[in-house]
Structure 1
Amino acid sequence: MALPRKLKHLNLFNDGNNWQGIVESLTLPKFTRKFEKYRGGGMSGAVDVDMGLDDGALDTEFSIGGMESLIFKQLGKR
């Protein structure tokens, strides 16, 4: 049985911070692969070459119930 795409009532840890009781929902990333067509010399057709994960494959979204100042402090931090 697979996990649902949107989780509710969960504990979330972000950058060492505990968001327990604040996070309302979390949308899981969609793991998509990036493929490129390759046709070498003497090949009658092209084949797909696996180039790894897609650019937005690990994007995750979560929503909180209200304003949280700690999120704004993390905004420009790497």
Structure 2
Amino acid sequence: MKAVCWMGKSSMETRTVPDPELINPHDAIIKVTRTAICGSDLHLYDGFIPTMESGDIMGLSSWDSWKRSALRSPTSSAEIV
């Protein structure tokens, strides 16, 4: 899958990364259909978060739909806001 990765202060790249996997019963895989940036993203971009490592995947604010879940969902096409 494609993901925006933080490569260093003020540096981002779109990269191909491994597809996520369901590991425990509470996991869900979602398909992101829209996204936005927020103040937290700007702090990450500017390098103010010391725990960021080159290649970390960005993403926090999104409009999603269920793709696959380890849990039973009421509908298979539920939207998540």
Q: Do Structure 1 and Structure 2 share a fold, with TM-score over 0.5?
A: no
TM-score, L = length of structure 1:
0.24
Structure with larger RCO (C-alpha < 8 A, sep 6+): 2
TM-score, L = length of structure 2:
0.23
Please state which structure has a larger fraction of its residues in strand: 2
